[in-house]
Structure 1
Amino acid sequence: MEYPVTVFIGKVREYEGSRPSAIGKVQVEGELSLTDRGLVGDQQAEKKIHGGPDRALCHYPREHYEQWAREFPEQAAWFVAPAFGENLSTVGLTEANVFIGDIFQWGDALIQVTQPRSPCFKVNFHSGIGDLSGLMQEKTRCGWLYRVIAEGKVAADAPLALVSRVSGVSVKEAAAIAWHTPFDDEQYHRLLSAAGLSASWAKTMQKRRLSGKIESFSRRLWGRG
């Protein structure tokens, strides 16, 4: 099955009262070059936590925006793509039916799902909703990230097509294992076994297995702790 896609890229900008960010993306048309670092012309402000080989592209389901707008009617105008800083927007692909390791063909390129997108406090600032990052995590409306396994030319009029499924762990299940359940060594092992999992998530799950503890989410979600 093919999924039409809308494509967005952005430049790093300064924001008074917050850190620099490239969350403010714009829609692009026509042919683009996709490398192992992402779309040519797209930027990331904090490369330690954004971008890189395992996080070259961010995908956010467009249908989530209607849910958010219903829940936050006063901010409804904000909830339109690409408010969450995504590169790719589709209808029909969600955390429930996309799996860790899924390989999609997009134009001449091949991209692979690596992890759920880990919400951070910047979306709270840009949306004006103090705990939107926490709600994204709680409700698993987080989207997901890709690595590029074959570079090439892509375009907004080239749909995404699933060509291989290599694990039995959905993005929603991965998020539930990482964020929603108490310490569970068996489930961490299951997630670690999912082909295609990002190195950073593999590191986090293995550190939990060794320490027997779950790290705090406070710094990522709210910028403190």
Structure 2
Amino acid sequence: MKHHVQVYTGPVREYSGSRPSAIAKHQTEGELVLNTLGLEGDQQAETVYHGGPDRALCHYPSEHYIHWAREFPEQAELFNAPAFGENLSTRGMTEQDVFIGDIYRWGEALIQVSQPRSPCFKLNYHFGISDMSVLMQQKGRCGWLYRVINGGRVSAALPLELVSRVSDISLSEAMSIAWHMPFDDEQYHRLLSAAGLSVSWVKTMQQRRLSGKIEDFNRRLLGRAGG
């Protein structure tokens, strides 16, 4: 199946009360070059947590915006692509039917799903909703990230087409294992076995198996440890 895609890029900007971010992006219609670190003209801030080979592109399903607008009617005008800082937006692709390791053809490029997006506290500032990141994680409406297997020329005029499925773990199941289940070594081992899983997620799951405990989510979700 082929999916029509909208494409967004943008630079890093300064934000009062928060750290620099490249979440504010604009729609791009023309041809772009995609390389192993992302689209030309696109940037990521704080590259320890964003960007890099495993996180070259961010994809967010456009159908999630209806949910968020209903959840927060007073901020409904905020919930339109690319409010979550996504590079790619589609209809008909969600976390339920996209799998870890899925490989898509896009123009001359091949891209591979590497992990769900891990929501961070910057989203709380961006939307003016103190627990936005927590809600995204709880509801599993997070979107996902890609690595670039083969770069080349791409554009919004060219569809995404699934060409290989190499694991049996959907993004929804990956999020459930990582964030919603109590400690489960067997499930962590299963997630680690998913072809294409990002180095970051491999590290997290392996650390859990070695330590016997789940890390504190609050530093990522709220910008602070504990509580």
**How far does residue 172 in structure 1 lie from its aligned partner after superposition?**
0.4
Query: What SS does structure 2 have at the residue aligned with 1:101?
Result: coil
CA separation in 2, counterparts of 1:5 and 1:166?
A: 23
Aligned twin of 2:11: 11
**How far does residue 121 in structure 1 lie from its aligned partner after superposition?**
0.5
Aligned twin of 1:56: 56
Residues 1:140 and 2:140 aligned together: yes
Aligned twin of 1:200: 200
Q: 1:73-107: CA deviations, max 9, x gaps?
A: 00000000000000000000000000000000000
**How far does residue 154 in structure 1 lie from its aligned partner after superposition?**
0.2
Amino acid at match of 1:15: Y
**How far does residue 6 in structure 1 lie from its aligned partner after superposition?**
0.3
**How far does residue 204 in structure 1 lie from its aligned partner after superposition?**
0.4
Aligned twin of 1:153: 153
**How far does residue 31 in structure 1 lie from its aligned partner after superposition?**
0.3
Q: 1:121-168: CA deviations, max 9, x gaps?
A: 011101011101000000000000000000100001101000000000
Amino acid at match of 2:134: G
Q: Following superposition, which runs of at least 4 residues in structure 1 exceed 3 angstroms of deviation?
A: none
CA separation in 2, counterparts of 1:60 and 1:186?
A: 29
User: What are the ranges of 5 or more consecutive residues in structure 1 without an aligned counterpart?
Assistant: none
Instruction: Please list, as runs of the form range in 1=range in 2, the aligned pairs for 1:17-32 lying within 5 A after superposition.
Output: 17-32=17-32
**How far does residue 41 in structure 1 lie from its aligned partner after superposition?**
0.8
Q: 1:169-210: CA deviations, max 9, x gaps?
A: 000000000000000000000000000000010010000001
Aligned twin of 2:98: 98
Give the paired residue count. Answer: 225
Residues 1:173 and 2:184 aligned together: no
Aligned twin of 2:212: 212
Normalised by the size of structure 2, how large is the TM-score? 0.99
Query: What SS does structure 1 have at the residue aligned with 2:69?
Result: helix
Aligned twin of 2:115: 115
CA separation in 2, counterparts of 1:130 and 1:172?
A: 24
CA separation in 2, counterparts of 1:222 and 1:85?
A: 18
Query: What SS does structure 1 have at the residue aligned with 2:67?
Result: helix
Amino acid at match of 1:85: G
Residues 1:2 and 2:2 aligned together: yes
Instruction: Please list, as runs of the form range in 1=range in 2, the aligned pairs for 1:182-197 lying within 5 A after superposition.
Output: 182-197=182-197
Identity over the aligned pairs, expressed in percent?
72
**How far does residue 57 in structure 1 lie from its aligned partner after superposition?**
0.2
User: What are the ranges of 5 or more consecutive residues in structure 2 without an aligned counterpart?
Assistant: none
Aligned residues: CA RMSD: 0.4
Query: What SS does structure 1 have at the residue aligned with 2:138?
Result: helix
Aligned twin of 2:44: 44
